[in-house]
């Protein structure tokens, strides 16, 4: 069957001159769907909206798995007629057109699925923001997109080639391309918080020679090379509380920053300087010294004289990290407490990013930074000095 529509989704593409970009796809007679994406749909969802529903394959799977009502949006009338055999209602139209949104009930759906659709849209951020109108307060958004960081694309770029193809990541109908990072940022800026993610269709196309060359030339790190094996990304997201987004100022309240020190004056100075330079929130700095003999105490006395928001706890001996931090907690007066090691250098936005999660979910009581030693959440870092580290941080907090 040949139709004008999006590959595997029924989505459309447009050029920015607002003219419809027609393209043709072969569809099997049996509906297909992205099974790994559907694993992210809550089994408790009762009213589900399927954007770009194609022939209704996703809805059929969901209805077999759980008791639910499924609506669809599909640009192709012929595909919509097939999907309508399985869905409660299918709206024929372009998800970027107001006419479609006027037919969707406000605050009705507790789950929305959007498989391989965002890459076909002119303004995906507008669609993501409008989904807040039709979802319940605790609604879940589940979507999948091709991953432009796959090695097949990188190899073409290294060869000076970026030709579009009939299907796949460089599908000639794609208007947008997504990496994991910019997909998450798009969702955050649109008021959605990613809660789960799955790497779909893991490919092992990366040859040993190419891997070695990329690492040797410092074009990549072992962590970033792992990302090149991923062809598709699927995520589940939930609504952020009203007003909470990437650009919003974090919650008010005094933060008690506790730093433990023992004979580490050189690094302690650098740590303290960075805290004063890059902390925008009201804070008190509590430094617990575990019996240092390297001149740290003279420096701490000087700090107390210069800054009214500095407290110092002097221990007669090294009582260890846990007990030392407890000494800092005993004198803390803040609404929030942040622990730093004395050899830490903080960067622009460091505390904003941590505090923002307290606004996003009131049940969150503790937040920690990302660890590149924990599987599945690594961030590629390529800075070699503090100056480059600060530039890297500004990029991530932008």
Q: If DSSP states are collapsed to H, E and C, what string results for 340-373?
A: EECCCCCCCCHHHHHHHHHHHCCCCCCCCCCCCC
Cβ within 8 Å of residue 122, ≥6 positions away: 14, 16, 96, 175
**Comparing 183 with 48, which gets the higher pLDDT?**
48
Tell me the C-alpha distance between 391 and 396, whole Å. Answer: 9
- Tens digits of per-residue pLDDT, 185-220? 899 889 998 888 776 656 656 666 666 666 666 555
In the numeric block, which tokens belong to residue 23? 């393209």
Domain segments of the chain: what residues? 8-239, 255-394
Residue with tokens 């779909």: 200
pLDDT at position 195, please?
84
CA–CA distance from 274 to each of 224, 250, 374 (Å)?
Answer: 28, 19, 26
Residue with tokens 């991953």: 147
pLDDT at position 369, please?
77
Place 251 in a pLDDT band, splitting at 50, 70 and 90: low
Of all residues in the chain, the percent with pLDDT exceeding 90 is 48
Cβ within 8 Å of residue 304, ≥6 positions away: 310, 311, 312
* pLDDT at 374 exceeding the cut of 70: no
First to last CA, the chain: 46
- Tens digits of per-residue pLDDT, 22-38? 444 444 444 445 677 89
pLDDT at position 358, please?
78
Question: Which has the minimum average pLDDT: 145-154, 301-310, 317-326, 384-393?
Answer: 145-154
Question: Which has the minimum average pLDDT: 61-75, 232-246, 376-390?
Answer: 232-246
**pLDDT mean over 135-142:** 95
Tell me the C-alpha distance between 267 and 287, whole Å. Answer: 13
Nearest residue to 281 via CA among 350, 179, 229: 350
CB-based burial of residue 380 (10 Å sphere; 0-12 exposed, 13-18 middle, 19+ buried)? middle
Q: Which fold has domain 8-239?
A: Rossmann fold (3.40.50)
Of all residues in the chain, the percent with pLDDT exceeding 70 is 74
Report the CATH number of the 255-394 domain. Answer: 3.90.550.10
CA 331 to the chain's CA centroid:
36
Place 343 in a pLDDT band, splitting at 50, 70 and 90: very high
Place 96 in a pLDDT band, splitting at 50, 70 and 90: very high
- Model-level pTM? 0.60
- Tens digits of per-residue pLDDT, 47-93? 999 999 999 999 999 999 999 999 999 999 999 999 999 999 999 99
**pLDDT mean over 165-170:** 69
């Amino acid at each position: 069957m040949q139709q004008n529509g999006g590959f595997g989704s029924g989505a459309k593409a447009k050029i920015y001159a607002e003219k419809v970009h027609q393209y043709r796809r072969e569809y099997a007679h049996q509906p297909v769907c992205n099974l790994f994406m559907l694993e992210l749909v809550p089994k408790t969802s009762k009213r589900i909206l399927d954007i770009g529903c194609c022939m209704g394959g996703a809805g059929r799977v969901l209805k077999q798995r759980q008791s639910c009502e499924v609506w669809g949006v599909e640009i192709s009338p012929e595909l919509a007629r097939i999907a309508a055999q399985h869905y409660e209602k299918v709206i024929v139209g372009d998800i970027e057109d107001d006419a479609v949104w006027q037919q969707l009930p406000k605050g009705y759906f507790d789950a929305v699925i959007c498989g391989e659709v965002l890459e076909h849209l002119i303004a995906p951020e507008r669609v993501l923001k409008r989904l807040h109108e039709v979802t319940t307060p605790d609604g879940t958004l589940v979507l999948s997109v091709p991953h432009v960081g796959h090695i097949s694309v990188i190899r073409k770029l290294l060869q000076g080639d970026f030709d579009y193809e009939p299907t796949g990541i460089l599908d000639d109908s794609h208007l947008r391309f997504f990496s994991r990072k910019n997909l998450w940022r798009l969702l955050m800026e649109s008021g959605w918080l990613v809660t789960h993610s799955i790497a779909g269709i893991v490919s092992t196309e990366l040859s040993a020679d190419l891997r070695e060359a990329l690492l040797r030339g410092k074009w990549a790190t072992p962590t970033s090379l792992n990302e090149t094996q991923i062809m598709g990304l699927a995520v589940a997201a939930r609504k952020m509380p009203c007003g909470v987004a990437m650009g919003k100022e974090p919650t008010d309240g005094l933060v008690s920053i506790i730093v433990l020190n023992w004979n580490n004056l050189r690094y302690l100075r650098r740590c303290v300087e960075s805290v004063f330079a890059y902390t925008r929130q009201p804070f008190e700095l509590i430094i617990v010294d575990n019996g240092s003999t390297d001149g740290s105490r003279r420096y701490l006395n000087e700090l107390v004289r210069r800054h009214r928001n500095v407290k110092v706890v002097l221990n007669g001996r090294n009582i260890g990290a846990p007990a030392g931090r407890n000494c800092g907690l005993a004198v803390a007066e803040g609404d929030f407490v942040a622990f730093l090691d004395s050899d830490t250098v903080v960067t622009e936005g460091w505390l904003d990013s941590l505090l923002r999660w307290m606004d996003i979910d009131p049940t969150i009581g503790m937040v920690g930074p990302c660890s590149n030693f924990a599987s599945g959440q690594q961030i590629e870092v390529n800075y070699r000095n503090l100056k480059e580290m600060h530039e890297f941080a500004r990029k991530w907090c932008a």
